[in-house]
Chain A
C-alpha cells in the first residue's frame, strides 16, 4: 500500500460509522499477520476503546493482558521508557510461542473462538502462560527479523524482555489488581513494587508505571519507589515514570474521541496530575514540580479548546434539531460539557468556562426550533436552575 492510499483509507475509516468500524477491526483481527493493517487502525484506537469491539483471544493478546496499560505507539517509545511499543507485541508473542513449541497447543485450543471479555478463560489460560513467559523471555535473543518486523533496534529487545519477564512473573496478581478494593489494592501494589525493585531499575520503572496507570494513588507509590530506587542504585525510576505519564497525558485525550469520553479522559488526567503534583511537592523535587506544571498548562489549554469547540457544536446542533432523539443527544453533550467545566476550571482560567457556558446557553434559549421547556432544560444543565430561569425571564 502506498502512503497516499493509507492516508485516504485512514480518512475514510475516521469518518466511518461505528458498525462499519467494528467490521473492519474484525477483518484486521482475523489476519494471520497484521503488519500495515495495524498502522492503519492506529489513529482509531481511542474510538475503539469506546466501542469495545469483541477482541479474539489470541496467545499474544493473552500474554500482554496484565501489562496492557503500558502499550504505547512505537513512534513515541525509546529505550529506557517504561512503555511497551505496539510493534514489538507480535514479534515477542510469536517468539515465545515458538519457544513453547507443542506446549502452547492446549492453550491455543482453549482460547480458540473466545474473546478477551471471557474473563474466566483469560484467568485460566493466562496463569500458566505468564509463568512460562517469566521463565523464558529474559533468556531469549532477538528473532532474526526483529528490526524489520518491529522497526526497533536490536538493543530494544533486551531492554524489553528483561523487565517484562519480571512483570509477567506477577501476571496473576497484576491481572487481579483492578478488582481489589482501595486499601487492599494499595497494599498489593506496594508488595509488587518491592518485588520488582529487587529485580533491578528497569523492572522497577516498568512496574511503577503500570501500577500508576492502574491506581490513582501516586504519592504513596512514588515515595516508595524513590526509597527502593535510591537503596538499589535506581534513583531515576520515578523521574522516568513521571516523564512517561506526563508526556502521555495530552495523547490520552484523543482528538477524535466523542465528547463524553474526552471529558472523562480529561478527568482521569487531571486526577493523575493532582496526585503527581502532591507527590512532587511532598518529595520537595522542584524539577518534578516543573514537569507537572508544564503538563497542567498543556492539559488546561487542550481542555479549553475542546470546551469551546464542543459548545459551538451544541449551539449549531440546537439550531437544526427537530427530533426527540436530537434533544437527548444535546442534553448528553451539555452534561459532558459540565464535566469538562468541572475538571477544566480546576486546571486554570475558570472565567473562560463561565463565558463559554453562559454564551452557549444564551444562544440555545434565543433559538425557536426547540420547545420552550427543552430550551429551558438545556440552559438549566449548562448554568443551573437559577441562572437558567434568569436567562429565560430576561433577568440579570
Chain B
C-alpha cells in the first residue's frame, strides 16, 4: 500500500500504544488478506476507521477511513457487507461487532463452516444469557443479563465465552513456552506469550470484580439505576481486554499447513498482538513490535505465486479462522 493511502501513526522504533480501548478499535475478522488482523474504530464524527497492523512497514500502524478501503485493496464480498453493517452501528464494541459478524456469516458468504459457526455461536451466547439470568436476582434487568452472559455466572460459569477464551490464552502461553514447538523463534514466541499473559491477567482481575459485583445484588442494582452506562462500560472491560485473542489462539492451533508452523505463524501472530491501551494502567507498557519480513508479508497476502498460496487460499484460511474464533472450537492447543 502507498503511504498516501493510510495515515501512519507510529514510528518503527517502538509499538503503537493507544490511549483507550475505543482508540485501539475492535478486532474484526475480515477475510480479505490485506485486512487480516484489522480493527475498526469509531471516534469523533469522521465515521468508522480501519486500524491496520503492519501494512505500511515494520512497527507501523495505518489508519484509513472505512469508506476509502477500496484504495487499499478489493475487499471480499463478505467484508463489504460486514463493513456496511458495522458502519451503520451507533457504537463499535466487541459485543456489537460479534453480533454483526454472526449475522453476516450466517448468510454463507464467508463459507459453510463460518455459517455453521455463526449458528453455534448464537446458541452458545443464548446459553450464556440463560445462565446469567439464573445467576442474577429475579433474573436481573435484561440488559444486565446480557452483559453478564459472556462473563459467566453460577455453577457453570466457566463454560461461558470469556472464561473459555481465558483458558485458551493460558494454554497458548504454555504452548509457546515449549521450545520444540516454537522452533528457533523464541523471540516471537515470548513476545506473544508475554502479551497473552498480561492481557489474561488484567482480564481475570476485571472478571473477578464483575462477578463480585454480581454477588451483591443490592449494590449492583443501585449502580445500574444510578449510572447504567458507566456500569455497562465496566462490565464490558473484560471483553475489550480479550478482544482479538480468539483469532490468535485459533491461528496457532489451526495454521495453514503450506505456510508452516511455527515459521510463518509466529511472526504473523507477533505482528497481530493487540496492544494494551494506556487506560489499562502502568502494567500495560509500550508493546514491543515485531519486524515482519517483507517476503512473509507478501506470502500472507497471497501475493507470491512461488509459495503456492494464492489470495483465494488466504481468504479460505481467514474464513476458517473466523469460524474458529466465533466458537473458540479447537482454540486450545
Q: Does the CB pair A377–B308 fall under 8 Å?
A: no
Q: Does the CB pair A267–B305 fall under 8 Å?
A: yes
Q: Does the CB pair B74–A384 fall under 8 Å?
A: yes
Whether B278 is near chain A, meaning CB under 8 Å from some CB there, is no
Q: Does the CB pair A373–B112 fall under 8 Å?
A: no
Q: Does the CB pair B312–A385 fall under 8 Å?
A: no
Given the known inter-chain contacts A343-B305, A388-B77, please indicate yes or no for A335 contacting B313, CB distance below 8 A. yes
Residues 375-390 of chain A: 1 if any B CB is under 8 Å from the residue's CB, otherwise 0? 0110011001110110
Q: Does the CB pair B316–A389 fall under 8 Å?
A: no
Bound complex: CA of A271 vs CA of B308, how far in Å? 10
Whether A278 is near chain B, meaning CB under 8 Å from some CB there, is no
Q: Does the CB pair B112–A324 fall under 8 Å?
A: yes
Q: Does the CB pair A389–B310 fall under 8 Å?
A: no
- In chain A, residues 347-396, which have Cβ atoms closer than 8 Å to a Cβ of chain B? 371, 373-374, 376-377, 380-381, 384-386, 388-389
Q: Does the CB pair A373–B74 fall under 8 Å?
A: no
Whether B120 is near chain A, meaning CB under 8 Å from some CB there, is no
Whether A215 is near chain B, meaning CB under 8 Å from some CB there, is no
Task: Kindly identify which residue among B74, B108, B306, B316 contacts A385, using a CB–CB cutoff of 8 Å.
Answer: B74
Bound complex: CA of A381 vs CA of B308, how far in Å? 16
Q: Which residues of B contact A374 (CB under 8 A)?
A: 108
Given the known inter-chain contacts A342-B305, A385-B80, please indicate yes or no for A371 contacting B312, CB distance below 8 A. no
Q: Does the CB pair B306–A271 fall under 8 Å?
A: yes
Residue of B nearest to A337 (CB): B312
Q: Which residues of B contact A331 (CB under 8 A)?
A: 111, 316
**For chains A and B in complex, what number of residue pairs have CB atoms within 8 angstroms?**
49
Residues 300-333 of chain B: 1 if any A CB is under 8 Å from the residue's CB, otherwise 0? 0000011010101101100000000000000000
Residue of A nearest to B316 (CB): A335
Q: Does the CB pair B306–A376 fall under 8 Å?
A: no
Whether B15 is near chain A, meaning CB under 8 Å from some CB there, is no
Bound complex: CA of A272 vs CA of B156, how far in Å? 58
Whether B159 is near chain A, meaning CB under 8 Å from some CB there, is no
Whether A264 is near chain B, meaning CB under 8 Å from some CB there, is yes
Q: Does the CB pair B112–A327 fall under 8 Å?
A: yes
Q: Does the CB pair B80–A339 fall under 8 Å?
A: no
Whether B76 is near chain A, meaning CB under 8 Å from some CB there, is yes
Task: Kindly identify which residue among A324, A339, A380 contacts B308, using a CB–CB cutoff of 8 Å.
Answer: A339
Q: Does the CB pair B312–A381 fall under 8 Å?
A: yes
Q: Does the CB pair B112–A376 fall under 8 Å?
A: no
Q: Does the CB pair A373–B109 fall under 8 Å?
A: yes
Whether B163 is near chain A, meaning CB under 8 Å from some CB there, is no
Q: Which residues of B contact A335 (CB under 8 A)?
A: 310, 312-313, 316
Whether A22 is near chain B, meaning CB under 8 Å from some CB there, is no
Whether B123 is near chain A, meaning CB under 8 Å from some CB there, is no
Residue of A nearest to B315 (CB): A381
The residue in B77, B80, B315 that gathers the most chain A C-beta atoms within 10 A of its C-beta is: B77
Whether B14 is near chain A, meaning CB under 8 Å from some CB there, is no
A176 CB, nearest partner CB in chain B, Å? 15
Residue of B nearest to A266 (CB): B308
A341 CB, nearest partner CB in chain B, Å? 8
- By secondary structure, the A interface counts as helix
Residues 298-335 of chain A: 1 if any B CB is under 8 Å from the residue's CB, otherwise 0? 00000000000000000000000000100110010011
Q: Which residues of B contact A388 (CB under 8 A)?
A: 77
Whether B107 is near chain A, meaning CB under 8 Å from some CB there, is yes
Q: Does the CB pair B312–A377 fall under 8 Å?
A: no
Q: Does the CB pair A346–B305 fall under 8 Å?
A: yes
Given the known inter-chain contacts A328-B112, A385-B74, please indicate yes or no for A338 contacting B312, CB distance below 8 A. yes
Q: Does the CB pair B111–A377 fall under 8 Å?
A: yes
- In chain B, residues 69-127, which have Cβ atoms closer than 8 Å to a Cβ of chain A? 74-77, 80, 107-109, 111-112
Q: Which residues of B contact A373 (CB under 8 A)?
A: 107-109
Q: Does the CB pair B76–A385 fall under 8 Å?
A: yes
Q: Which residues of B contact A264 (CB under 8 A)?
A: 308
Residue of B nearest to A386 (CB): B74
Q: Which residues of A contact B80 (CB under 8 A)?
A: 385
Given the known inter-chain contacts A267-B308, A335-B313, A339-B310, please indicate yes or no for A385 contacting B77, CB distance below 8 A. yes
Bound complex: CA of A342 vs CA of B304, how far in Å? 9
A334 CB, nearest partner CB in chain B, Å? 8
Q: Which residues of A contact B310 (CB under 8 A)?
A: 335, 338-339, 342
Q: Does the CB pair A380–B77 fall under 8 Å?
A: yes
Bound complex: CA of A124 vs CA of B313, how far in Å? 38
Q: Does the CB pair A385–B111 fall under 8 Å?
A: no
Bound complex: CA of A385 vs CA of B308, how far in Å? 21
Residue of B nearest to A268 (CB): B308
Q: Which residues of B contact A342 (CB under 8 A)?
A: 305, 310
Q: Which residues of A contact B305 (CB under 8 A)?
A: 267, 339, 342-343, 346
Q: Which residues of B contact A271 (CB under 8 A)?
A: 306
A133 CB, nearest partner CB in chain B, Å? 32
Given the known inter-chain contacts A335-B310, A346-B305, please indicate yes or no for A371 contacting B74, CB distance below 8 A. no
B318 CB, nearest partner CB in chain A, Å? 13
Bound complex: CA of A366 vs CA of B312, how far in Å? 22
Bound complex: CA of A380 vs CA of B109, how far in Å? 10
A377 CB, nearest partner CB in chain B, Å? 7
Residue of A nearest to B108 (CB): A373
Q: Which residues of A contact B315 (CB under 8 A)?
A: 381
Bound complex: CA of A342 vs CA of B75, how far in Å? 19
Residue of A nearest to B303 (CB): A342
Residue of B nearest to A372 (CB): B108
Residue of B nearest to A341 (CB): B310
Residue of A nearest to B110 (CB): A377
Bound complex: CA of A255 vs CA of B80, how far in Å? 39
Bound complex: CA of A267 vs CA of B304, how far in Å? 11
- 23 contacting pairs across A/B (C-beta < 8 A): A267-B305, A267-B306, A267-B308, A271-B306, A328-B112, A331-B316, A335-B312, A335-B316, A338-B310, A339-B305, A339-B308, A339-B313, A346-B305, A371-B108, A376-B109, A377-B109, A377-B111, A380-B76, A380-B77, A381-B312, A384-B74, A385-B75, A389-B77
Q: A327-B112, A339-B310 are in contact. List 5 more A-B contacts (CB 8 A).
A: A338-B310, A339-B305, A377-B111, A385-B74, A385-B77
Which A-B residue pairs are the 6 nearest by beta carbons?
A373-B108, A342-B305, A335-B312, A338-B312, A385-B77, A267-B308
